[in-house]
Amino acid sequence: MVFSSLFFLFIFLPLTLLLYYLVPQRCKNLILFISSLVFYAWGEPVYILLMFFSVTINHALGLLIGKSRKNRKTARRALIFSVIINVGLLGFFKYSGFLLQILGSVVGASLQNPGLPLPIGISFYTFQALSYIIDIYRGRISPQQNFIAFGTYISLFPQLIAGPIVRYQTIAGQLLRRPIEFNIFGEGVRRFAAGLGKKVLLANNVGLLWEQIRELPPEGLPIITAWLGIAAFALQIYFDFSGYSDMAVGLGKMFGFTFPENFRHPYISRSITEFWRRWHITLGTWFREYVYIPLGGNRTGRQTHLRNIFIVWFLTGLWHGAAWNFALWGLYNGLILVLEKYCLLKWLGRAPRFLSHAYAIVTILLGWVLFSFDNMATGSSYLGAMFGLSGGGIFNLQAIYYCYTHAILIAIAIFASTPIYGTIKQKLQKKSGALYYVATTLSSLLLLFLSTAYLVDAAYNPFLYFRF
């Protein structure tokens, strides 16, 4: 993983950018398409055929639906075929082992898990392909005639492995022509550096704390240690995922694209409803547009509305992984959202900010316990430790050691998860534009240097969202 990261930073990305800016406008998509296929083959070479198949079949079906606007029967058949192909491929590679496990438990037999490697980014590019086909069927967009342009949209390597999920209509015009401006490129570099720093300097280091605490037996785990551990995981997954999203947005700007934002400081939320408006925004938008609203949304009776919410959140949980803990995590969020919608939000709106924020943080952290433990028994024991049911007391010497040695890191991570730094940057930009650009340029260079130094020496560089 470390070698791959360094190879990407110092060989693949600079070479791609050089070729991209040397070729004429009409060849830029071709460079990006080829580079994206090379990037995809880097992870699992055989799966380049899967990517090429997905591009080819969805491009052809999009053209067929576009030509069959007056023949709704043909268009509907093409839509259904596309859904079957896309969901079928996603289900086969991501959920076959999980489904065999369920089937085996039902029939009382041990069915062998095929253990297929998960194709890189399949959850993301499958959802992009589905949104493209559905939007053509709905008449919201016209099909992309150019195969290379469509292939670029599906396989675009900056956001292939961790999003954001980009709907075709968002970048349809950009696929045809993109501006090449030095200031936009500079913004992209600064955003990429910020994302890399989030991932390498913050996520990886708080992740080490979480790994140490997670390896401890839940029985006898002190309350302070348990809460510190899951708080470290909460910070790790945020900086890991939002860091990759920032890198994707930054890389997009370097190539002339404007990708949607995926995170807006979710840990400042005062409710789970607000949290999900700030966390993985493009996934929430996708499920709202293509599952929740087609099911009827909140336009039907209360029972149907509740059904729709739980269907969406059950699927949201399973999207993150083929295991029961993810499904349970999704249903947990659905339940909290229902409770907030029908009774809690009014109270939270009137409550002091520190109380509503404390409620949101505690509720979020409890959810992360469900998310992080695929072994339900271990997760239940960990939850018990958080509430003093493990017999470990409030704290011990080890808990004091963890707090003492990681206090500065946790403080920096909490500060970085708030909008305070962004507010300071805005004020600096208004007061002195020149000073702002000098300061942000120097800080970006420092982040790149420190991140690279860390990667060279690091043995721990996990990618949490790779398996989602």
Residue 187 has pLDDT above 80, yes or no: yes
Residues 310, 453: one domain? yes
- What percent of the chain stands above pLDDT 70? 95
The predicted pLDDT at position 141 comes to 94
Contact 143, 63 (CB under 8 A): yes
Closest among 329, 166, 338, 358 to 237, alpha carbons compared? 329
pLDDT by residue (tens digit) across 373-392?
989 999 999 999 999 998 88
Residues 163, 210: one domain? no
Q: CA angle 343-332-95, nearest 5°? A: 145
Residues 74, 218: one domain? no
Residues 174, 194: one domain? no
DSSP, res 218: S
Sign of CA pseudo-dihedral 125, 5, 407, 428: negative
CB atoms within 10 A of CB 21: 13
Residues 446, 460: one domain? yes
Closest among 111, 127, 120, 112 to 93, alpha carbons compared? 120
In 3-state terms the chain splits into helix, strand, coil percentages (rounded to 5) of: 75, 0, 25
Q: Which helix (H) or strand (E) holds 81?
A: helix 72-107
Domain-located, residue 3: no
Residues 291, 341: one domain? yes
Closest among 410, 368, 408 to 386, alpha carbons compared? 368
Is the peptide bond preceding residue 164 cis, with omega within 30 degrees of 0?
yes
- Which of 178, 194, 222 is a domain's end point? 178
pLDDT bucket at 458, cuts 50 / 70 / 90: low
User: At 113, is the secondary structure helix, strand, or coil?
Assistant: coil
What is the rounded distance in angstroms from the CA atom of residue 329 to the CA atom of residue 372? 9
pLDDT bucket at 246, cuts 50 / 70 / 90: very high
The predicted pLDDT at position 462 comes to 65
pLDDT bucket at 105, cuts 50 / 70 / 90: confident
- Domain containing 400 equals 184-467
- Of the candidates 59, 320, 357, 406, the residue annotated as catalytic is 320
What is the rounded distance in angstroms from the CA atom of residue 59 to the CA atom of residue 133? 9
- What percent of the chain stands above pLDDT 90? 67
For 442, residues 6+ apart whose C-beta sits below 8 A from its C-beta are none
For 236, residues 6+ apart whose C-beta sits below 8 A from its C-beta are 203, 204, 206, 207, 210, 464
59 catalytically annotated: no
pLDDT by residue (tens digit) across 164-176?
999 999 999 999 8
Give the residue carrying structure tokens 């589905």: 130
- Which of 128, 154, 178 is a domain's end point? 178
Across 112-257, the runs of DSSP E, i.e. the strands, are none
Domain-located, residue 102: yes
Number of domains in the chain: 2
What is the rounded distance in angstroms from the CA atom of residue 437 to the CA atom of residue 42? 36
Domain-located, residue 8: no
How many residues are recorded in the chain?
Answer: 468
Residues 223, 154: one domain? no
Domain-located, residue 1: no
The predicted pLDDT at position 89 comes to 93
pLDDT by residue (tens digit) across 279-336?
999 999 999 999 999 999 888 788 899 999 999 999 999 999 889 999 999 999 999 9
- Better-scored residue on pLDDT, 460 or 454: 454
- Which of 148, 178, 208 is a domain's end point? 178
What is the rounded distance in angstroms from the CA atom of residue 466 to the CA atom of residue 468? 6
Residues 235, 249: one domain? yes
Residues 257, 385: one domain? yes
Residues 169, 229: one domain? no
Residues 262, 364: one domain? yes
Residues 213, 171: one domain? no
